[in-house]
Amino acid sequence: MSDEPKTAPGPIADRTFERGFKLAAIAGAIGVALLYVIGPFTLSSGSELVFASLLYPIYLLSIAVVLAVWLGYPTDERDLERVYETPDAENGETPER
């Protein structure tokens, strides 16, 4: 691997990721709805309910990974940064969420 610093994806990549993920989520939901309307997919069966409730999030995660790699988001764990809450300047307490 190269030791060259990577440039972070810009705002166009951020918008593309967001729109691509929304489009994939809508397309997946339409696909499940079409399977239900056409007939081979009924939610009364336990296995099909598992398919709809467990495999759909896995599909969305896969789409997010593919989009992130395609758009050049960092994939190395060394690129991760810790998130810290800074104390409130007035009273020294952390802000409430």
- The verdict on pTM exceeding 0.85 is no
pLDDT tens-digit map of 57-72: 899 999 999 999 888 8
Its sign, for the CA torsion 74, 77, 82, 83, is positive
Q: Give 17-29 pLDDT, tens digit per residue.
A: 999 999 999 999 8
CA 97, CA 94: separation in Å to the nearest integer? 9
Residue type at 77? E
pLDDT by residue (tens digit) across 80-94?
667 677 766 555 555
